[in-house]
Amino acid sequence: MTKSLYIHLPFCKSFCSYCDFKRGMYKPKIVDSYLKQVINCLKKKYAKNSFKTIYLGGGTPNCLSNQQLEYLLKNLKNKIDKNYEFTIECNPEFITKKQAEIFKRNNVNRISLGIQTLNKKILKKVNRHNPQEIVENALTILKKQHLNNISCDLIYGFNNQTKKMIKYDLDFLFKHTIKHISCYSLEIKPHSTFGKQKYQTDDITIEKHLEFIIKYLKQHGYKRYEVSNWAKQNKYQSKHNVATWLTQPWAAIGYGAYGFENDHYYFYHGTRLKWKLSTKKLSKTEKYQQVLMMGLRLQKGLYLKNKLYFEAYTHFKKQLESSNLFVKQNNYIKCRNLNLLDELLIKFF
């Protein structure tokens, strides 16, 4: 039975210039109807499931009202297994004491906080409203509720962003003993504001900044376990995301959500209130491409005693072994340098 659940909440109160995630403006009535559909789907399709990991992503799940969050979370509260991980993506701007109490009361035990940067000029440029005081306040509120398993997202690659600024952001996270850090390289998505403005990034600076991030996080005791993710100890790795990177089944609910169950990938599109479900059965080649593309993102790689990973490896053995980035060691296959993963992946795409 599927052990992971992803719910997409496609609502934001403002839009960041770099982002083209599936989301629209927060409207209370739309959210009310949306949540009813989510809960109906949960009750219909997953009445008997209990999940090891639940992930509420967005959009901005915590821009919902307290009443809406309470309704959603109380319906999920008893859908968890022992040793569960229950994450909610949050924007620091909307965190309040009342909201943190709702999280705590309803078994949420991991917070993924979008910070991106603390630099005021860049925040303004990307239309975000989380200066340092707001983030500090959010962290204090969360910690008071003993919500200590916090992950923070940063983005590097903005124009005029210097190594000093990135160091400042990282030092801030160290000072607040953040256990998990995601550092994403700025991607210019065609439908985002930056995409429309033809925003240009500088690959050489980005590469230098990534080198710095890797070195600095290592010095401070964070282990890179995936292309963009670092954890203080293994227990702080995102169990939900690791399950999806390992192509373990996950259920998905909501407009814009992808799932993988019973060997089928599926995707909800349509509109926020009229979802359309598309299912795709992949050919063997497509499935193995998917397994390797996801699994090789992990520093540890894929364990060949697992039947699916072994089949994927055997299927693309020739292509993989033709690259000096490919490593096969102690029954694991992995990429020698995660920064160059794309160069390995194009061998079999």
Ligand X SMILES: C[S@@+](CC[C@H](N)C(=O)[O-])C[C@H]1O[C@@H](n2cnc3c(N)ncnc32)[C@H](O)[C@@H]1O
Do residues 10 and 272 touch, judged by C-beta distance below 8 A?
yes
Distance between CA atoms of residues 95 and 97, nearest Å: 7
Nearer to ligand X, 60 or 247 (CB): 60
CA-nearest of 189, 187, 63 to 114 is 63
> Which tokens is 272 given?
């926020």
Q: Pick the binder of ligand X from 5, 7, 9, 19 (CB under 6 A).
A: 19
CB of 89 to ligand SF4, least distance (A): 8
Within 51-70, the residues that bind ligand X by CB under 6 A are 57-58, 60
Interacting span for ligand X (CB under 6 A) from 13-21, 119-127, 160-168, 288-296: 13-21
Q: Strand 80-90 and strand 326-329: pairing?
A: unpaired
Interface with ligand X includes 186 (CB under 6 A)? Answer: yes
Peptide bond into 59 cis (omega under 30): yes
Q: Which listed option, ligand X, ligand SF4, none, makes contact with residue 15 (CB within 5 to 8 Å by class)?
A: ligand SF4
Q: Pick the binder of ligand X from 189, 220, 223, 347 (CB under 6 A).
A: 189
Footprint on this chain of ligand SF4 (rule: CB under 6 A): 12, 15-16, 19, 21, 23, 58-60, 91, 114
State the greatest distance between any 2 C-alpha atoms of the chain, in Å, as a whole number: 56
Q: Which listed option, ligand X, ligand SF4, none, makes contact with residue 259 (CB within 5 to 8 Å by class)?
A: none
> Which tokens is 247 given?
């192509």
Interacting span for ligand X (CB under 6 A) from 66-74, 181-189, 207-215, 321-329: 181-189
Distance between CA atoms of residues 273 and 326, nearest Å: 45
How many residues contact ligand X, by CB under 6 A? 16
Q: Which listed option, ligand SF4, ligand X, none, makes contact with residue 226 (CB within 5 to 8 Å by class)?
A: none
Residue with tokens 């930056």: 194
Q: Which listed option, ligand SF4, ligand X, none, makes contact with residue 187 (CB within 5 to 8 Å by class)?
A: ligand X
Interacting span for ligand X (CB under 6 A) from 186-194, 243-251, 260-268, 296-304: 186-194
Q: Which listed option, ligand X, ligand SF4, none, makes contact with residue 265 (CB within 5 to 8 Å by class)?
A: none
Q: Cite the DSSP H helix spans in the chain.
A: 28-45, 66-76, 97-105, 120-125, 132-144, 163-175, 193-196, 203-219, 239-245, 284-295, 307-315, 317-321, 341-345
Contact pattern for ligand X over residues 273 through 312, marking x by CB under 6 A: ----------------------------------------
What secondary structure does DSSP assign to 85-141, as a single string? EEEEEE-GGG--HHHHHHHHHTT--EEEEEEE---HHHHHHTT----HHHHHHHHHH
Do residues 16 and 93 touch, judged by C-beta distance below 8 A?
no
Residues of the shown chain interacting with ligand X in the complex, contacts defined by CB under 6 A: 18-19, 21, 57-58, 60, 89, 91, 114, 116, 153, 155, 184, 186-187, 189
